């Protein structure tokens, strides 16, 4: 594991990470909740027609922009639009989401500036508002206080929430969460203060002028492809996280919540579709058990860490993942049994004599869990595991979970490692 990644739970519990555990109210007495809802005034949806018209026109213009890609546009313009989609996407995923909303890693000034510029170009509200909505989403997921409550349907979770007034509960509950850390970042404050001129320049003027000046594209084509089409495409890919990833997919980490592992969103939102994992462990900088695999945003953050721009990357330990899968996972486990795989053999043996250097197959599941360093080493460098299993770290922990399920007595012995697991899960 690269040295810049923290997996120690004590590090994970840094005070700078916002508390986004689902609200205790949600776990409280159902009667209390029902009574509280009865006492509320009936909610009436208020459509904001200005937003409906703007969003409608933008989508029509984006479809027109898509037709230009196959017509008069230069190929450089199409390539530039794709690159800008990735760049603005990173502004949301690596910036507004993983850095500012979750504080799952820290970034130096140049990287924060780079991400803030990309986030401005994405025009999804300024960083402060984006992070505020997102923290409320995690804390009060799938209740009236969730800005894009998926229980109100796919369309509402995707875009409908931006076309009507916020539910009063979003505002009420939103006041209970702290955002002070955001206001301590001068970049966030500056962007918030000059947001309108900044989005006009970053999202519309620059993407229109640059293709015209650099390779002689027409202003018309550059505007509809690099500005409008790229903007609307990025919007929809981001919205998939709130819609598709709250509707369809597996729940290997917590079957009691709606967010799911959704591969359409993984690709569209450059690594953000591992949403069951993310809602279970929101402080993990890679938002996935698989690290950089299938995750362009994690690759980017790793690259930034390698040059010293990103640091204090937080990651959940494999032990905690296994424990959580056992406790609340949906058991949708894919067991990859490969001949001679020590993972399988480990399940058959319960001896305690083991030789780390030669990777004998005499480890019991308990040993595997309790011997943190050995386990971590196996996960990170592949020693002791068949490569086909190791391709997906998720499969390795799935195998171990499966073995532990078949040998529940071994679980009793894992108490000795509870201090590694903290109280988070
Ligand atoms: Zn979500
Ligand atoms: Zn999140």
What is the chain's alpha carbon radius of gyration, rounded to the nearest angstrom?
23
How far apart CA 133 and CA 125 sit, in angstroms, is 10
pLDDT band for position 402 (cuts 50, 70, 90):
low
Dist CA 188 CA 167 (whole Å): 26
Question: Which of 38-42, 89-93, 420-424 is predicted with the least confidence, judged by mean pLDDT?
Answer: 420-424
Determine the 3-state secondary structure of 118 from DSSP.
Answer: helix
Average confidence (pLDDT) over 122-136: 96
Q: How far is the CA of 156 from the centre of ligand 1 (A)?
A: 13
Coil, strand or helix: which one is 261? strand
Q: What is the largest CA-CA distance in the chain?
A: 73
Closest-approaching ligand to the CA atom of 137: 1
Nearest to 104 by CA among 212, 226, 223, 14: 14
- pLDDT of the residue at 24: 55
Burial class (CB in 10 A: 0-12, 13-18, 19+), 32: exposed
CA of 283 to the centre of ligand 2 (A): 8
Give just the sign of the alpha carbon dihedral 72, 73, 75, 79. Answer: negative
User: What is d(CA 219, CA 228) in angstroms, rounded to the nearest whole number?
Assistant: 12
Grade residue 344 by pLDDT with cuts at 50, 70 and 90. Answer: very low
Say which residue, 287 or 371, is predicted with more confidence: 287
pLDDT at 276: 96
Q: What count of other Cβ atoms lies within 10 Å of the Cβ of residue 168? A: 13
Q: What is the pLDDT of residues 57-98, one digit of tens each?
A: 999 999 999 999 999 999 999 999 999 999 999 999 999 999
Query: Phi and psi for 160 in degrees, rounded to 5?
Result: -55, -35
Q: What is the pLDDT of residues 141-178, one digit of tens each?
A: 999 999 999 999 999 999 999 999 999 999 999 999 99
Distance 211 CA to ligand 1 centre (A): 36
Q: Which residue has better confidence, 319 or 314?
A: 314
- Cα of 218 vs centre of ligand 1, distance in Å, is 40
CA of 22 to the centre of ligand 2 (A): 12
What is the rounded CA–CA span in Å between residue 263 and residue 265? 5
Q: What is the pTM of this model?
A: 0.77
CA of 38 to the centre of ligand 2 (A): 30
Tokens at residue 223, please? 């505007």
Please tell me which residue, 36 or 233, carries the higher pLDDT value: 233
- Residue 132 reports pLDDT greater than 80: yes
Which bound ligand lies closest to the C-alpha atom of 146? 1
Residues 6+ apart with CB under 8 A from 102: 17, 18, 20, 282, 283
Assign 392 a pLDDT band (cuts: 50, 70, 90): very low
Between the CA of 242 and the centroid of ligand 1 the distance, in Å, is 5
Alpha-carbon span 105 to 139, nearest angstrom: 20
Band (pLDDT 50/70/90 cuts) for residue 397 is low
């Amino acid at each position: 594991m690269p040295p810049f990644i923290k997996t120690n739970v004590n590090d994970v519990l840094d005070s700078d990470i916002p508390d986004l555990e689902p609200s205790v109210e949600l776990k409280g007495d159902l009667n209390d909740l029902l009574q509280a809802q009865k006492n509320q005034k009936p909610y009436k949806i208020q459509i904001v027609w200005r937003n409906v018209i703007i969003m409608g026109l933008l989508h029509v213009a984006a479809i027109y922009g898509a037709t230009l890609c196959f017509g008069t546009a230069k190929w450089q313009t199409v390539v530039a639009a794709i690159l800008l989609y990735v760049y603005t996407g990173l502004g949301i995923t690596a910036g507004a989401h993983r850095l500012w909303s979750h504080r799952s890693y820290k970034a130096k000034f140049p990287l924060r500036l780079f991400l803030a510029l990309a986030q401005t170009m994405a025009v999804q509200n300024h960083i402060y508002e984006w992070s505020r909505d997102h923290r409320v989403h995690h804390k009060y997921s799938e209740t009236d206080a969730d800005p894009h409550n998926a229980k109100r349907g796919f369309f509402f979770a995707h875009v409908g929430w931006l076309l009507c007034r916020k539910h009063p509960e979003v505002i009420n509950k939103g006041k209970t969460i702290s955002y002070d850390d955001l206001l301590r970042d001068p970049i966030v404050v500056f962007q918030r203060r000059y947001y309108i001129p900044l989005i006009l320049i970053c999202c519309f003027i620059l993407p229109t002028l640059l293709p015209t000046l650099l390779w002689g594209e027409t202003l018309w084509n550059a505007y509809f492809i690099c500005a409008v089409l790229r903007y609307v495409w990025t919007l929809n890919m981001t919205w998939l996280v709130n819609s598709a990833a709250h509707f369809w997919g597996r729940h290997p980490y917590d079957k009691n919540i709606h967010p799911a592992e959704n591969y359409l969103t993984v690709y569209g939102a450059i690594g953000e579709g591992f949403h069951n994992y993310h809602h279970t462990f929101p402080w993990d900088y890679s938002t996935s058990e698989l690290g950089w695999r299938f995750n362009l945003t994690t690759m980017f953050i790793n690259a930034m860490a390698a040059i010293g721009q990103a640091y204090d990357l937080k990651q959940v330990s494999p032990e905690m993942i296994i424990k959580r899968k056992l406790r609340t996972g949906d058991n949708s486990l894919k067991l990859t049994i490969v001949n001679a795989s020590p993972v399988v053999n480990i399940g058959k043996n319960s001896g305690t004599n083991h030789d780390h250097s030669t990777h004998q197959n005499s480890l019991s599941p308990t040993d595997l869990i309790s011997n943190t360093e050995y386990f971590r080493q196996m996960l990170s460098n592949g020693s002791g595991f068949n490569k086909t299993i190791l391709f997906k770290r998720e499969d390795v922990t799935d195998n171990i979970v499966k073995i532990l399920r078949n040998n529940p007595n071994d679980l009793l012995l894992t108490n000795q490692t509870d201090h590694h697991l903290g109280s988070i899960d």
